[in-house]
Amino acid sequence: MIAVTGIGWLNQKEYGCIIGKVEKHHEGLDSLYSSFKRESLFSYPVKNFSRFDTISKTTCFCAALALKDAGISYSAGQKKDIGVFGANESGCLESNINYFKDYIESGRILARGNLFIYTLPSIPLAEVAIHFGLSGPLLHISFNDGKISSLLSFAGKNILEGETQSILAVKAEETEAVCFVLQTEDAVSAGKSLSLEAVSAAADKPDFFEMIKALTGLA
């Protein structure tokens, strides 16, 4: 059986942890980074965070919240057999547009390399894996229905097939993001957990706010 042991989320004004029943306001992604360092949600500085594109930032934030919600700590040099699966609507389209605009403005000769880094949709997931020391499988996926339940089902199936015992399932856009920690029952600690089936049903609300409200109701 698969359990959901942590859920972290954020939008343009708020962020929180579902199981821990945390909900706070923020003043923007830059100030949020300072808050996360101060509150030890980031155990140490995220390398090159100021260069991240927006989706890489929201992915990193919600992953930190989900790990905190699941009671999973991390430290520099420590590796964990946890996978990272991600899906979103826009992929890395905005970062590709920004890179191409920079290329045009530079006379079609060169463009900034730090913009080029984020022109693959798997890069935000890789940044999460690097910072948190996650050594499990990493995959960016697209689903025709665009539903979070499809992502959760796919991640759960990979756990049942023995790919890894734990997966971070992330759906991150530039304006909002949510991350789920999926684990086998054997890997679950004494903390509270939610059934994957209940979380999948609640996560398929069409509106982000309604989804968070439904998920909060499960905890």
Backbone φ and ψ for 163, nearest 5 degrees, come out as -65, -40
DSSP letter at 84 equals E
Distances (CA, A) of 145 to 139, 163, 197, 204, 206: 18, 24, 18, 11, 12
Distances (CA, A) of 189 to 3, 70, 161, 183: 11, 9, 21, 10
CA–CA dist 68, 205 (Å, integer): 24
Query: Is pLDDT larger for residue 54 or for residue 191?
Result: 54
CATH of the domain at 124: 3.40.47.10
Task: Find the mean pLDDT for residues 40-58.
Answer: 93
Mean pLDDT of the chain: 90
Kindly report the length of the chain.
Answer: 219
CA–CA dist 85, 164 (Å, integer): 12
Per-residue buried b or exposed e for 27-42, using 16+ beta carbons within 10 Å of the residue's own CB: eebeebbeebeeeebb
**In contact, 122 and 66? CB cutoff 8 Å:** no
Q: Among residues of the chain, what percentage have pLDDT more than 70?
A: 94
Task: Find the mean pLDDT for residues 77-99.
Answer: 83
Lowest-confidence segment of 40-44, 98-102, 213-217 by average pLDDT:
98-102
pLDDT per position as a tens digit, 103-161? 678 777 776 767 667 778 899 999 999 999 999 999 999 887 878 999 999 999 999 99
Task: Find the mean pLDDT for residues 57-71.
Answer: 97
Distances (CA, A) of 71 to 3, 5, 8, 49, 182: 14, 8, 12, 24, 13
Instruction: Give the predicted TM-score (pTM) of the model.
Output: 0.91
pLDDT per position as a tens digit, 180-198? 999 987 766 667 899 999 9
User: Encoding tokens for residue 186?
Assistant: 């054997």
Question: Coil, strand, or helix at residue 146?
Answer: coil
One-letter amino acid identity for 134?
L
So what's the pLDDT on residue 91? Answer: 73
Count: domains in the chain: 1
Query: Is pLDDT larger for residue 79 or for residue 115?
Result: 79
So what's the pLDDT on residue 172? Answer: 94
CA–CA dist 27, 90 (Å, integer): 24
Domain residues for the domain of 207 are 2-218
